[in-house]
A and B are shown apart, each in its own frame.
Chain A
């Protein structure tokens, strides 16, 4: 499946990238919200890992932009759990909320796989 990773933190992108590729998926990266939105529309991914806090355009903003045209499963991620949780993420059109740091990166990829297969 096609996975788009939108995060301004290179280490996060890199680890997710490596794990997903290891699991045999096709992975695309974007380093902020604007690039992410462009790639989203360009490649139509099956799963999008979307960071919340990003310079320029935040994760929720990107979600608003793609609202209606989107077919991908969205996993919102944040290093600061303060004001976000699963409920809020779902109300914004995301399928899953993941606080960073991840307990186990492979489990996360599996969760994404489950989301896509449920479709």
Chain B
């Protein structure tokens, strides 16, 4: 307590201290306390203050551990005021009273209740009671101090935490906001991508340029200030085309001039507007030109002359709107290029495949591409005319095994073209097999077969041979007749001699008569044959009776007509005409032969009539040959008088009979005609001018 001063405040107020509040620094209480505290406890920092001085500067109490106030008889009210004030201002600082006198209950109660005094003792008790109290309050003070410190720390930590939390919250808020923004962006982007994907998908399904244009128009409608699309496109052989809409209608038009093609997007280039105005014939406003790079360079086009397709879009977009539109367009144009590429390529493919197809179909002969196992890979229309089979021989010849003589195998084995004849469906074809080399180094296992119908020409040939033979036979006929007639003369004459010599032997005569008759028959056959083959040109027209010729002819066709009923009705009027009898005979023979062939396998009547018909004062001798055969269909009836026309199986008709008959009859100034009903029969009418 050495530091206790006699001033108004004595002691080190910067350290925790005990405060003695006294009336005056000279009061005995002051000395007593100083002795009590100072003697035994040098470590205590004790300050002494006069009450009045303290009242003026209460802040001194800030580091005070304990207020010890002196209470004497005359200062009671003032001391209490001070303590109450202390209690108000510094509640934590305990207050004790040291009274010089005994206090009555009234003051005690005030001390406890109003001033909150924790201890009260008399002056004489100070030495014994005060020191423990001092220790206790010192400990309490340090506790309070550390508590306060802790509280401070806690507070500051709380504050820091709060700051941190605030910071975090800000961060979270900011992040959340930016997340919201990016989510929105992502959604927008997704929506954009979806619309692009949808657009691309639609592009993928397009098959025609018009569809592409319609799709572009629809897509561009999102921008109200963008007009309908206009596509400038190179097509065939470097020719250029405009595809555009006018009045909602789609148009394609040849371009007069090429458009500018620097390969870059051009914004509002006046040259583009002028160009389009000239080409289309209407004013154009601002135009954006998008070149669409396509990969394919079509055949026959020098790349230097190649103008890339360009999409022109007329618009009235402001500068701000243009950016949005450009990015919208950029997202789509590459796909449009690809789609355009594909469409053009497909068109080209289609065109060239169509070109080849129609080329093949245009060939009148059957043509087929056939693999080495006889499978038809491709063929033209003519080839598939009758059947649709996988194998060439099944399809073409209706066979179960490859056609005899087919040159295909040889062609594949030797790797060079071969040709040979095959027969198919009653016709003869010259087949040319050409090996096709798809890949050069490999052996070809595929051939192109070209089938050329040579039936007609081989028929012609065989007919010519036949005719030659017949002609030769005609020439020989005289000789043959001579050779036959000589022995016949002997047979007949000797028979006659023998018959005369053997008059008495009846049976022998009968036999000889038969021999003679047979020889006679032979003779008449030779005569007819001879007259048939006689050369016609030299003979002059002679007056002949048609009826007579008919009667002479009937025995010759007796065998061919034997299966049918015959109705012969000859006019009794004169049937004389100027003609060559053997030729009339030939015509009749031919018509009767046809009639009986038409009726083969059928029952029926062959009618033969002659009659006279008068037309415009001219009498005509008419011969009708009528059969009840199947008739002639309309498609054939016009060509039956054409040479080589026949419906008969091979080897039965030469196709010459009717054409020759026509020629013969017309040579005599007559005519030959036909009427026929399918299923009923046919009537040939020959008319010759009567004499």
Contact = CB atoms under 8 A, between A and B. Distances in A.
Interface of A: 9-12, 14-16, 18-19, 22, 53, 78-80, 82, 100-102, 104-106
Contact of A105 (B487, B488, B497, B523): B497
B519 A101 contact: yes
Nearest to B484: A79
B496 A104 contact: yes
8 contacts: A9-B490, A12-B489, A12-B493, A15-B489, A15-B494, A79-B484, A82-B530, A105-B492
Given A18-B501, A102-B489, 11 more contacts: A9-B487, A11-B487, A12-B489, A14-B490, A15-B489, A15-B493, A19-B500, A79-B484, A82-B530, A100-B489, A101-B488
B482 interface: yes
B535 to A, nearest CB: 10
B501 A11 contact: no
B159 interface: no
A101 B493 contact: yes
Contacts, number: 75
A19 B530 CA distance: 29
B482 A80 contact: yes
Contacts of B496: 15, 19, 104-106
A22 B485 CA distance: 24
Contacts of B492: 15, 101-102, 105
Contact of B485 (A10, A18, A101, A106): A101
Contacts of B113: none
A82 B482 CA distance: 10
Interface residues of B, number: 24
Minimum-distance CB pairs A-B, first 9: A11-B490, A15-B493, A79-B485, A80-B482, A101-B489, A105-B493, A9-B486, A79-B482, A100-B489
Contact of B490 (A12, A78, A82): A12
B478 interface: yes
Nearest to A17: B497
Contacts of B486: 9, 11-12, 79, 100
Point out which of A10, A14, A79 has the most chain B C-beta atoms below 10 A from its C-beta. Answer: A79
B200 to A, nearest CB: 97
B479 interface: yes
A80 B485 contact: yes
A106 to B, nearest CB: 7
B343 interface: no
Contacts of B424: none
B481 interface: yes
A68 B534 CA distance: 36
A100 B497 contact: no
B513 to A, nearest CB: 13
Nearest to A8: B486
Given A80-B479, A104-B496, A11 B485 contact: no
B491 interface: yes
Point out which of B485, B493, B530 has the most chain A C-beta atoms below 10 A from its C-beta. Answer: B493
A90 B90 CA distance: 196
B452 to A, nearest CB: 46
B497 A53 contact: no
Contacts of B519: 101
Nearest to B486: A9
B529 to A, nearest CB: 12
Contacts of B481: 79-80
A16 B493 contact: yes
Contacts of B489: 9, 11-12, 15, 79, 100-102
A18 B501 CA distance: 9
B497 A18 contact: yes
Contacts of A9: 486-487, 489-490
Contacts of B500: 19, 22, 106
A19 B485 contact: no
Contacts of A100: 485-486, 488-489
A16 to B, nearest CB: 7
A11 B491 contact: yes
A92 B652 CA distance: 47
Contacts of A80: 478-479, 481-482, 485
Nearest to A82: B478
A34 B500 CA distance: 33
Interface in B532-568: 534
Nearest to B488: A101
Contacts of A12: 486, 489-490, 493
Point out which of A14, A78, A80 has the most chain B C-beta atoms below 10 A from its C-beta. Answer: A80
Interface string B372-392: 000000000000000000000
Given A79-B485, A101-B485, A19 B478 contact: no
Contacts of B534: 82
Contacts of A14: 490, 494
